[in-house]
Structure 1
Amino acid sequence: MHWHSIDYRKRDGAKPGTPFDRGFWLHLPRAMPLCRLVGHRAVVDGTTGFGPDDPGSRWVCCDRCGTRPDPQGHLDPARWNIGDPYDDERAPEPHHPLGRPTRATSEVPGPWRTSPEGVIGGQVVVGKTFGGIGIDLKLGHAGSEHTLAASITLNPLGAVYIHTEGYGTWLQRRLNPTGYHPKRIEFRTYKGSVYWTLGTDRDSYSKGDPRWRHGSTVIDPRDRILGPRRHTYDKVGDPVTATVRMPHGDDHGVTLQLERCTTGRARGRKTTSWSVDWESNGIPYKPDGTGRYTGSAVTVSDRSVQAGTWPHHATAAIAASITTSRDRHRWPVPTAAVEAPA
């Protein structure tokens, strides 16, 4: 048994409003009392293909505990169906205790693992996270990294994510034995609506799904009475070229477009604010040059728009934002930098 953890704030950089963000993995031996007593029950496992011309993949596992031989084998999908017993009888020339593959490109399954391990892992976030408030349960497919997974999100208070690797394979093989899509059950509230998913594929959506299995409804009375909150953007004037001067000594040309943002509901008071969309050939934020920002948006004040100084405020905001990213990726400090007062 062993475990390890990662502080994501140190690895990816601290995020405002998130004082704690850590992942953990606990590696434990698999018990498998019945299989240790009477032996494994070898069956064919695998995934179906993405289309009619793709037969998918086949390998061998235990029908009870889900443990795979090492190597797991690579069988001919034209001959072996998922769920078939794997035995020597169907192999024309038995070569291995578990049998022999049917063609040269196949791989013979190896012996059963004597001390298989499973993993229980997760992540704990304190503070702001993505999404709203909800609960999510996931049942993986045969090729999933996570066999079972669950999460509880209480944004902006935090979230807890739990998953297993290996544990729960018996359940997965009976409820989701084929295909590439995990099954999920989810209830979530976000921006005035509640969303639900009941046993549907996690990464796909079909118009044929009944609404009780996959749908949403508005629960915010303001949305019901006054209409949903909308943001509309209107371009004001022509694009303006400007220069972003970074404190590290490099300058970059950008194109700025002033936009008026109107926020409000169909019935009710509306507010106006200003934003500036910007584009460039790429402003680097990683020391090795692999990461570049080519565009985004910043906000400017109404006073700067009235005074005509909004381009200066926009370029300053762009420089400040990219400087923050450079600090997070340990961009070298300028040699002429002024030391901060103690």
Structure 2
Amino acid sequence: MRWYTSNELRIGLHKKGKFVHRRFWLHDVPRLMLWCRLRGHRPVVDGHGPIAKGLHAARWVVCDRCGVRPDPQGNLDPEQWDIGQPYDGPWTPLTRDLAASAWTELLGLTQRPVHRDDARKPGRWPDKPTGTLGAELVLGKTFGVFSAEVTIGCAGDEHPISCHLRLWPFGALYLHTEAFGAWLQRRLIPDGYYSRVINISVDEWTIRWQWWAREDEWAREDPWWMHGRISLDLVEKLFGPKRYSYETVNGPTLGLVHMPDGDSHQVQLVLQRRRYGRPRRKRAAWSWVVKWTANSPGIETRPGKSGILSSAVEVPADTVQTGAWATLACGLIAHKLTADRIRNGYRPATTGQAE
């Protein structure tokens, strides 16, 4: 095992009110995996992406109990293997696997040699799987008043389990695991791209909670119990809560969104003046946004899911004055949706077509 620590106060960021801010990592911690050591691993197929022509997909082998992958993990054909399907072979023969490991270590190779007959097969299970434990300690003033949270990461999250406890003005403690907790992760979130959060916090005279909610995500169809808040703010009681309101100034007008993947999409643009403030108070913050609407089935950003039909981007005031807001809005739409595609591992089936 080896450990590492860093003093965040030396970096010079957000030092005010803090007298301790340090991060800790404990690497190469042996994983117990008692059940797998007694009964053996339970190999299943894991991966991402739908089985559809032109859409990116990948399949590999993993232990359904402990989350350990063989080395190499395998590169299975997505058209023949479904996610969650038990895997019973074929495997890389033990003799060739040992020979590849020996040649890699002897010659100091950066890439493991693979026999042509074993290009897609998984190898041996690691003998001594390890993981990492991490922590962050803050003593002094932090943001918010109180917060307690537990997060279960999705299959692609490098932190299967993370949690924190924060109390102003005393400090905060953050904990996370890497590899540890994979069994719980695979039981609770076997698929999907979103981690799940259980949280209760107090900030800005408001008590908020999340119960098994998607991390950094909210949808209108979420059940009522998943998100909630109780306001203790007297100003809010008198003048109302801060809200966004919109006034249409220009449009609708047509625009063309050119994606870096080669596909293009025609959208309808509407320029709006946005107000953020309390309804019974004159003081407010103003900005410009462009609401856009695409033709059905929308602009796809996730494998196997329907495309995005409508959203909005914010544009600076000088582009409104010069009349360049529509051109900039199309570029911002392409930038945002491209980031979503990269995050979701999506590639379009066709390119160079305007929809």
Which fold has the larger relative contact order, with Cα–Cα distance below 8 Å and residues 6 or more apart in sequence? 2
Specify the alignment match of 1:10 in structure 2: 10
Specify the alignment match of 2:175 in structure 1: 162
- Does residue 61 (structure 1) correspond to residue 62 (structure 2)? The answer is yes
Unaligned 5+ residue runs, structure 1? 98-102, 231-262, 272-342
Say if 2:153 and 2:185, in contact at 8 Å, map to a contact too: yes
Specify the alignment match of 2:260 in structure 1: none
Say if 1:46 and 1:82, in contact at 8 Å, map to a contact too: yes
> Mapping of 1:230-309 within 5 angstroms?
266=280
What is the CA–CA distance in structure 1 between the aligned matches of 2:237 and 2:35, rounded to whole Å? Answer: 57
Structure 1 position 202, deviation (Å)? 0.7
TM-score, length of structure 1 as denominator length = 0.59
Specify the alignment match of 1:178 in structure 2: 191
Specify the SS of the correspondent of 1:19.
strand
Specify the alignment match of 2:45 in structure 1: 44
| Alpha-carbon spacing, 1:228–1:179, altered in 2? closer, same or farther (3 Å) | closer
Specify the alignment match of 1:77 in structure 2: 78
What is the CA–CA distance in structure 1 between the aligned matches of 2:58 and 2:217, rounded to whole Å? Answer: 21
What is the CA–CA distance in structure 2 between the aligned matches of 1:96 and 1:76, rounded to whole Å? Answer: 19
Structure 1 position 52, deviation (Å)? 9.8
Structure 1 position 117, deviation (Å)? 0.7
Letter in 2 for 1:10: R
- Does residue 220 (structure 1) correspond to residue 233 (structure 2)? The answer is yes
What is the CA–CA distance in structure 2 between the aligned matches of 1:13 and 1:67, rounded to whole Å? Answer: 37
Specify the alignment match of 2:262 in structure 1: none
Specify the alignment match of 2:33 in structure 1: 32
- Does residue 136 (structure 1) correspond to residue 137 (structure 2)? The answer is no
Say if 1:44 and 1:61, in contact at 8 Å, map to a contact too: yes
CA RMSD of aligned residues (A): 3.4
- Does residue 20 (structure 1) correspond to residue 6 (structure 2)? The answer is no
| Alpha-carbon spacing, 1:14–1:186, altered in 2? closer, same or farther (3 Å) | closer
Letter in 1 for 2:71: D
Say if 1:96 and 1:108, in contact at 8 Å, map to a contact too: no
1:44-100 CA-partner distances (Å, limit 9, x unpaired) = 123346x99645432211122111112222323222222111112xx5xx6546xxx
Q: Percent identity?
A: 42
Structure 1 position 104, deviation (Å)? 9.8
| Alpha-carbon spacing, 1:209–1:124, altered in 2? closer, same or farther (3 Å) | same
Specify the SS of the correspondent of 2:11.
helix
Letter in 1 for 2:45: V
Letter in 1 for 2:161: L
| Alpha-carbon spacing, 1:52–1:17, altered in 2? closer, same or farther (3 Å) | farther
Q: Which deviates more, 211-220 or 171-180?
A: 211-220
Structure 1 position 227, deviation (Å)? 4.2
Structure 1 position 194, deviation (Å)? 1.9
| Alpha-carbon spacing, 1:112–1:156, altered in 2? closer, same or farther (3 Å) | same
Specify the alignment match of 2:159 in structure 1: 146
> Structure 1 stretches (4+) deviating beyond 6 angstroms?
103-106
Specify the SS of the correspondent of 2:21.
strand
Say if 1:47 and 1:142, in contact at 8 Å, map to a contact too: no
Query: Who wins on radius of gyration, i.e. which is larger?
Result: 1
| Alpha-carbon spacing, 1:95–1:72, altered in 2? closer, same or farther (3 Å) | closer
What is the CA–CA distance in structure 2 between the aligned matches of 1:227 and 1:52, rounded to whole Å? Answer: 52
